[in-house]
Amino acid sequence: MKENPKVSIIIPFHKDTKYARECIQKCLELNYPNYEIIVVKDEGGEIVCHDPKVKIISTKQILTGPAEKRDIAFSLDLGDIVAFIDDDAYPKKDWLMRAVEHFQHEDIEALGGPALTPPNDSFLQKAGGAVIGSVAGSGPLAFRYSQRKRRFVDDFPSYNLLVVKNLFIKVGGFGSKFYGGEDSYFCLKIKNAGRKILYVPDVVVYHHRRPLFIRHLKQIANFGRHRGYFAKKYPRTSRRLIYFLPLCLFLATMAVLIFSCFIIKFTYWFFALALLGYLLLFFVNFYVYRNFLISLVFPLGIVSTHLVYGFNFLRGLFIRHMEK
């Protein structure tokens, strides 16, 4: 890899929001000398930017998914590295500089980094970030939302993912219409090509969270449904115990609630264990974040996240064919 290789940042643009404008502006402020920004929007989507670094491309369609928008890049003259970020995220100023260091000095063709909760997010957004960024919420996948040890992975979200152009072209891009599982499908193609993805904790973007509870749980439901379908359809990277654990929790909770209707002792034990679990999660979160209010809603966020994910994972297992 040559010094200061050109990087093409691809942003799938949904609609003009303050987050989307923030994403473009923060990308323009990156301290890297050789990059371009490609904003891919739906036909009719409105966005204006006069900076020469920014190219605005239309899909010529309405309501295309993020994977389809990213694949528009195939028709363009891309840089040496293709960098993906969502339109509700923004990069840390040294994002590209940190990433390119690894592409230059190691045999790396794909890498990603954590998506941290922005400091200006609302209280309920920060609560949602605390849920998914914790081990209690995401288990061993918490490194996706918080800075953890460097490691190799075979599945990583596309809100902070960089790939060498030749590998991107070799695997045929995202090549799907999935929305919620498009990155897992893309990473599976990278794995099938014999490549790994390096997780680097200092390649950072900030990703605005969905606020607890309704919008957060709608997103979790979509994730669970796609992962359930993928566990059946693409088992190589999705049929893993970690993805089945919320389903086990959901089924166990339903069983306890049913038994409680017939055996009164089950009701007492259920509420006693629920209270103990709440207190444990409260104190663990308070010890880490020192935020009393977030710690109050954190246990409810953890439990509802796993139950909603588990239920929708079960739904995904029974879906015969999923395109989006």
Domain-wise residue ranges, the chain: 7-210, 216-318
Specify the pLDDT at position 40.
Answer: 92
Q: Could you read off the pLDDT of 96-148 as tens digits, one per residue?
A: 999 999 998 768 999 999 999 999 999 999 999 999 999 999 999 999 999 99
* CATH topology for the 7-210 domain: Spore Coat Polysaccharide Biosynthesis Protein SpsA; Chain A (3.90.550)
CA distances 72 to 66, 207, 233, 241, Å, are 10, 23, 26, 35
- DSSP-H helix ranges across the chain: 18-28, 66-71, 95-105, 123-132, 135-138, 165-170, 182-192, 214-233, 235-238, 241-260, 264-289, 292-318
Q: Which residues contact 81 (CB under 8 A, 6 or more apart)?
A: 5, 6, 7, 8, 99, 100, 103, 162, 163, 164, 165
Specify the pLDDT at position 245.
Answer: 96
Q: Other CB atoms closer than 10 Å to residue 137's CB: what's the count?
A: 23
**pTM, rounded to two decimals:** 0.93
Biggest CA pair distance of the chain: 70
Asked if pLDDT for residue 315 goes beyond 90, the answer is yes
Q: Could you read off the pLDDT of 215-274 as tens digits, one per residue?
A: 999 999 999 999 999 999 999 999 999 999 999 999 999 998 888 888 877 788 888 888
Q: Could you read off the pLDDT of 25-69 as tens digits, one per residue?
A: 999 999 999 999 999 988 766 777 889 999 999 887 777 889 999
Q: Could you read off the pLDDT of 174-229 as tens digits, one per residue?
A: 998 898 899 999 999 999 999 999 999 999 999 999 999 999 999 999 999 999 99
Pairing of strands 54-58, 35-41: parallel
Specify the pLDDT at position 90.
Answer: 98
